[in-house]
Chains A and B, each alone.
Chain A
Amino acid sequence: GQQLNQSPQSMFIQEGEDVSMNCTSSSIFNTWLWYKQDPGEGPVLLIALYKAGELTSNGRLTAQFGITRKDSFLNISASIPSDVGIYFCAGGNAGNNRKLIWGLGTSLAVNP
């Protein structure tokens, strides 16, 4: 099935560093969603973006809806050990019968 290109696939960083990850697509989306999943749990919604160019923050997390509507970025500032997990992006479009298209995830490890 269709998937978003999410990169990087994995990251290993030092506590306190900033993190950037992104998702790209050949299709246009009306919505970009960012989730975090802890081991053995369901993904938790971090940020929802609904407007091209929109920049939204949630604590140390900041996400942007790309102006072309084909990409989105997530930044984490001053990482801490509890940021460890897998981050997923998802794109939504009414033309796709509201079915979300998902990236394969970015696995983040933080060295204290």
Chain B
Amino acid sequence: KAGVTQTPRYLIKTRGQQVTLSCSPISGHRSVSWYQQTPGQGLQFLFEYFSETQRNKGNFPGRFSGRQFSNSRSEMNVSTLELGDSALYLCASSPGAGGNYEQYFGPGTRLTVT
């Protein structure tokens, strides 16, 4: 089974621009979660989508948004980029239902805002 893929792997943007990151989950998984990780900060939860609906949301400003398509692929968008948005953005794929809570991560997208 193919793992979780994220594109692009690296991105450099200028403050004020917007960016869209993409995540393809493991085949059959219906849940995609997004996390922001900065050095020494652990995994900060952004949001989770399950069957095209946002099921959970973290404490991030409205500049951060996401969506999920009918094939479970997900995108997240950050508008009006700030220097502090520079981070590793990780998506995680999960079955999303039943007793299995396991999440499987992609390699991440490294975003640098200058």
B85 to chain A minimum Cβ distance, whole angstroms, is 18
A39 to chain B minimum Cβ distance, whole angstroms, is 10
Q: Is the CB of B106 within 8 A of A50?
A: no
Q: B27 interface residue, CB < 8 Å from A?
A: no
A93 to chain B minimum Cβ distance, whole angstroms, is 8
Q: Is the CB of A99 within 8 A of B45?
A: yes
Q: A85 interface residue, CB < 8 Å from B?
A: no
Known: A40-B88, A40-B110. A48 touches B96 (CB 8 A): no
Range of interface residues on chain A?
20 to 34
Q: Is the CB of B107 within 8 A of A88?
A: no
Q: Is the CB of A41 within 8 A of B107?
A: yes
Chain A residues near B59 (CB, 8 Å)? 1
Range of interface residues on chain B?
20 to 34
Chain B residues near A102 (CB, 8 Å)? 42-43, 45
State A33–B48 Cα separation when bound (angstroms).
18
Chain B residues near A50 (CB, 8 Å)? 99
What is the chain B residue whose CB lies nearest that of A31? B101
A85 to chain B minimum Cβ distance, whole angstroms, is 13
B33 to chain A minimum Cβ distance, whole angstroms, is 8
Chain B residues near A99 (CB, 8 Å)? 45, 48, 56
Known: A98-B55, A99-B56. A42 touches B107 (CB 8 A): yes
Which B35-51 residues sit within 8 Å CB-CB of chain A?
41-45, 48
Contacting A33 at CB < 8 Å: which of B55, B99, B101, B110?
Answer: B101
Q: B103 interface residue, CB < 8 Å from A?
A: yes
A residues with a Cβ closer than 8 A to B are 1, 3, 30-31, 33, 35, 40-45, 48, 50, 88, 90, 92, 97-100, 102-105
22 pairs from A and B in contact (CB 8 Å cutoff) = A1-B45, A3-B42, A30-B99, A33-B101, A40-B88, A40-B108, A41-B107, A42-B4, A42-B90, A42-B92, A42-B107, A43-B90, A45-B102, A97-B55, A98-B55, A99-B45, A99-B48, A99-B56, A100-B33, A103-B42, A104-B41, A105-B42
